Amino acid sequence: MEKKRIVIALGGNALGKNLPEQYIAVQTTAKAIADLIEEGNEVIIAHGNGPQVGMINNAMAFYAKTDPAHPAITPLSVCVAMSQAYIGYDLQNALREELLNRNIKKEVATVITQVRVDADDPAFQNPTKPIGHFMTKEEAEAAEADGMHVMEDAGRGYRRVVASPKPVEIIEIGTIHALLNDGCIVIAAGGGGIPVIRRGNHLKGVGAVIDKDFASCLLAKNVDADYLIILTAVDKVALNFGKPDQKWLDCISVEEARQYVKEGHFAPGSMLPKVEAGIDFASSKPGRTALITLLSRARDGVNGKTGTRIVM
């Protein structure tokens, strides 16, 4: 099997919804990733943080009530940084152990990653990114009364939404390259990266959460990956998802994918950013393939046995 450079984007189901769940979930996730490494592929890992960044934000708000010296609001950029660290900690340990169990000698490192966004990105005026736990209608109304934006999320309940600007530049890309050149397995751009804007030499954190699907795509382009694999809770992408005439997709061209996006087949905030990231990656250079599949089927996906691929 030919060795490929693969950027893996891990979704919510790879990490669980709370600390004990995460500790267990990363063990399964580590196995799926180690399968790809064992086949000789070079792997770079990115991940989401929707539930986690919401949890941290809530926890900090609660703490602020007990400490008058602490500001009431902890910037979302700081919350993303915290999420990168503790998710990276669990993930890198689980992967380290899984590789040792298979006698694979490789270092695993998490890079606290900042991602530059455009201060004028229209997303700041229109929050769309769901974070935190699902809420009932009553909880959603209470959250709105507290000044938060809340939206219905793909028929699964209500969630807080925050601004989700597009990633422009990965600040630590040089560090990521250095680690890759040294043969390390890198975990980077967690939670879409810490959103920052540039003010001369100063990087200023901003109140937003970048979509991990878009950040992973930028990372994949920057490291010249062959594959962008978005691992999520469904085996394939569907047309007419959840309807009687639902149709699972195996392999689609960038052109077909663009057409399906126009026809509104993919839910904003969940499948739409994945397909858009897939289109962006696959159209960026010949030979680049985007694959969307189930976490547990990553290896089958890469070997063409399952998943939805987007190709030029």
User: Which CB atom, from 17 or from 177, has the smaller least distance to ligand ADP?
Assistant: 17
Q: Which stretch binds ligand ADP (CB under 6 A): 37-45, 99-107, 214-222, 262-270?
A: 262-270
Asked whether position 238 contacts ligand ADP by CB under 6 A, the answer is yes
Residue nearest to ligand ADP as judged by C-beta position: 11
DSSP bridge partners of 108? 185
- Using CB under 6 A as the binding rule, the residues of this chain from 145 to 204 that contact ligand ADP are 154
Q: Which of 59, 119, 233, 251 binds ligand ADP (CB under 6 A)?
A: 233
User: Which CB atom, from 53 or from 238, has the smaller least distance to ligand ADP?
Assistant: 238
Catalytic site residues? 12-13, 129, 212, 274
| Distance, CA of 132 to CA of 135 (rounded, Å) | 9
Instruction: Phi first, then psi: give them for residue 262, nearest 5 degrees.
Output: -60, -40
User: Which CB atom, from 136 or from 246, has the smaller least distance to ligand ADP?
Assistant: 246
Contacts with ligand ADP by CB under 6 A: the residue count is: 15
Q: What is the dihedral of CA 260, 262, 268, 274, to 10 degrees?
A: 50
Q: Which stretch binds ligand ADP (CB under 6 A): 68-76, 92-100, 114-122, 261-269?
A: 261-269
**For residue 190, what are its two tokens?**
């967690």
**For residue 145, what are its two tokens?**
């009364």
Q: Which of 143, 151, 203, 267 binds ligand ADP (CB under 6 A)?
A: 267
| Distance, CA of 254 to CA of 256 (rounded, Å) | 6
- Least CB distance from residue 51 to ligand ADP, whole Å? 9
Angle, CA of 103, 107 and 112, to the nearest 5°: 145
In order, the DSSP letters of 99-132 are: HHHTT----EEE---EEE--TT-GGGGS--EEEE
Q: Which of 12, 132, 167, 192 binds ligand ADP (CB under 6 A)?
A: 12
Asked whether position 270 contacts ligand ADP by CB under 6 A, the answer is yes
| Distance, CA of 35 to CA of 300 (rounded, Å) | 10
| Distance, CA of 165 to CA of 308 (rounded, Å) | 26
- Least CB distance from residue 273 to ligand ADP, whole Å? 8
Residues of this chain that interact with ligand ADP (CB under 6 A) are 11-12, 48, 154, 232-234, 237-238, 241, 265-267, 270-271
